[in-house]
Structure 1
Amino acid sequence: MAAFVTKRLALALLVAIFVSSISFSLMFLTGDPAIAIAGEGATEADIEVIRRTFGFDRSFAVQYWDWISGAASGDFGQSFYFNQPVVELLAERMPVTATLAVFSIGFALLLALPLGILAAVKRNSLADRLSLALATVGQATPSFWLALMLIVLFAVNLRWLPVSGADTLAHFILPSIVLGYYASPSMMRLTRGGMIEALRSDYIRTARAKGMLPRTIILKHALRNAVLPVVSVAAVEFGFILGGSVVVESVFSLRGIGYLAWESIGRNDFPTIQAIILVYAMIYVCLTFLADVLNAWIDPRIRVA
């Protein structure tokens, strides 16, 4: 197990270094960042002052080293637009996005696992077809459209839930349903496929021959093997929810990291954009690493291979 964890950790570090270089390079892909910061009508003298002030006149390697060494210590620089340390902006907005992501992945699992198990146990039945149809609709429905429909129904017409803000947990119900429903189809299909394969296995037939209860066979034996790919996908979907919350946060006026990214892109706030990309990438790498370790712990065959 230690060797497996060491190999996965080394791979995660290599990915982190590669992603950090890409995220830093994005600032230079659109041209000279000093010109973008100066804006229209700026003179050459103004651009040169900005270039010297922010250190854009130095070599790329020197700029990257200063940035990555500062980021390693929690210093992402100063926001151009908000005029405050980027780390403070992230600390203010991250709790909103993290709460939204946890609720969303929780709703997705609560929806996907039971439906996947039901579809596998009742294969080719009406329940199976309805579950697959629900998954197809969830993957095809635009998140912004579903968000607007839920607002109209539950906030405007029924007045059960608040429309916007993040003051209470009730404010996260509708956006969590939107993101969770969009993330559930892949997990539901994997659960169904894994359960169908597991229920055909010899050890399941042996368990049935011993007279075990169907509930014990399904939940204790079959589900343990069927859930392995779901763990990996859930980690990936959690990362996608964190990075893809821009639209939902905008619709529900949740001032999280996604909304901050939208604001920063529209205002050429490069330090904030770089920090958000790097933080999201590191979260994604960590989640993937933890999913690999958890899968290896659940199924010893993985770490032996």
Structure 2
Amino acid sequence: MLIYTLKRLGLAVLVALAVSMLSFALLHLSGDPASAIAGESATDADIAAIRAFYGFDRPLIVQYADWLFSALRGDFGESYYFQLPVAQLIGDRLSITMTLGICGISFAILTAVPLGVAAAVRPNSMIDRMALFISVMGQAMPSFWFGLVLVVIFSIKFRLLPPSGTESWKNFIMPTVVLGYYAMPAIMRLTRAGMLDVLSADYVRTARAKGASEMRVMFKHALRNAIIPVVSLSAVQMGFMLGGSIVVESIFALHGAGYLAWESIGRNDLPTVQALILIFALFYIVFTFLSDLLNAWLDPRMRVG
């Protein structure tokens, strides 16, 4: 297990380094950052002064090396627009996005996995058709529309939940449902397909023939093997929720890291955008790494392979 962990950790570090290089290069090659900061009415002298002040006139590899070594120390520079340290700015916003992401993926897993198991146990039944309906609706319904519908029903019509803000736990109920419902279809379908394959396997029939209870067969023998691809998918979905919650945060006025990314892109705040891209990529890498370790614990064959 230790060798497997070290291999996956080394791969994760290489992926993080590659993502940082690509994101840094693409942001700088997409246009002149000095011109974007100076604005449309700036003169050539103003642009040249800004380019020299921020060090944009240096070779790109030198700029990347300085930025990377500073980022490793937790220093992402200062925001061009907010005039605050980027680390402080992201730190103030990240807790909201983390809370929303954890609640969203928890809602998706706790809802989709039981529905997927029930649908596999009773194929072509009413519950199977209901799970299919929920899956189709989750794929077809845009998250921004679903969020607005919830606001109209629960905030405007019945006044049960606050429409925006982060004052209490009630503010996160509707955003959690919207964000989690988007991930439910894929998790549910994968759980159902995995359970259908496992329930027809020889070792499940053997366990039943030995007199094992149905609950033991279902959860110890079947679900443990069927859940392996679900773990990997949930890790990817969690990374997406943290990096792609811009729409949900905008609808419910949750000023988290996703909303900060949208603000920074619109205002050409290059240091903040670079830091957010790196942090969101690290979320993907960390969650994928943890899911690999969990899958290796669930299925020892992965460690051997």
Distance in 1 separating the partners of 2:216 and 2:27 = 55
CA deviations 1:32-91 (Å, max 9, x no partner) are 110111001101111011001100010001100000000011000000000010000111
Residue 172 of structure 1: how far off its partner (Å): 0.4
Aligned length: 305
Q: Per the alignment, in what secondary structure is the counterpart of residue 74 of structure 1?
A: coil
Match of 2:82 in 1: 82
Distance in 1 separating the partners of 2:301 and 2:158 = 52
Q: TM-score scaled to structure 1, two decimals?
A: 0.98
Match of 2:151 in 1: 151
Match of 1:298 in 2: 298
CA deviations 1:144-186 (Å, max 9, x no partner) are 0000000011111111111000111110000000010001111
Q: TM-score scaled to structure 2, two decimals?
A: 0.98
Distance in 1 separating the partners of 2:195 and 2:31 = 52
Residue 211 of structure 1: how far off its partner (Å): 2.1
Match of 1:122 in 2: 122
Matches within 5 A, 1:22-171: 22-171=22-171
Residue 30 of structure 1: how far off its partner (Å): 2.5
Distance in 2 separating the partners of 1:271 and 1:23 = 12
Worse overlay, 287-296 or 210-219: 210-219
Distance in 2 separating the partners of 1:30 and 1:40 = 17
Residue 210 of structure 1: how far off its partner (Å): 1.9
Q: Per the alignment, in what secondary structure is the counterpart of residue 253 of structure 2?
A: coil
Distance in 1 separating the partners of 2:27 and 2:121 = 52
Residue 283 of structure 1: how far off its partner (Å): 1.0
Distance in 2 separating the partners of 1:84 and 1:10 = 34
Gaps of 5+ in 1: none
Distance in 1 separating the partners of 2:193 and 2:66 = 48
Residue 203 of structure 1: how far off its partner (Å): 1.2
Percent identity between the two aligned chains? 57
Residue 222 of structure 1: how far off its partner (Å): 0.6
Q: Per the alignment, in what secondary structure is the counterpart of residue 75 of structure 1?
A: coil
Residue 26 of structure 1: how far off its partner (Å): 2.7
Worse overlay, 26-35 or 187-196: 26-35
CA deviations 1:77-117 (Å, max 9, x no partner) are 00000001000011100000000001000100111011100
Distance in 2 separating the partners of 1:90 and 1:23 = 18
CA deviations 1:235-269 (Å, max 9, x no partner) are 00000001110000000000100110111011000
CA deviations 1:121-160 (Å, max 9, x no partner) are 0012221122012111101110000000000111111111
Residue identity opposite 2:68 in structure 1:
I
Residue identity opposite 2:173 in structure 1:
I
Match of 2:262 in 1: 262
Match of 1:241 in 2: 241
Match of 2:14 in 1: 14
Worse overlay, 209-218 or 88-97: 209-218
Distance in 2 separating the partners of 1:31 and 1:213 = 65
Match of 2:175 in 1: 175
Match of 2:229 in 1: 229
Distance in 2 separating the partners of 1:29 and 1:57 = 13
Match of 1:279 in 2: 279
Runs of 4 or more, structure 1, over 4 Å off, are none
Distance in 1 separating the partners of 2:26 and 2:170 = 37
Distance in 1 separating the partners of 2:43 and 2:35 = 10
Distance in 1 separating the partners of 2:30 and 2:38 = 14
Residue identity opposite 2:37 in structure 1:
I
Gaps of 5+ in 2: none
Distance in 1 separating the partners of 2:127 and 2:29 = 50
CA deviations 1:167-213 (Å, max 9, x no partner) are 11110000000010001111111110111111111111111112222
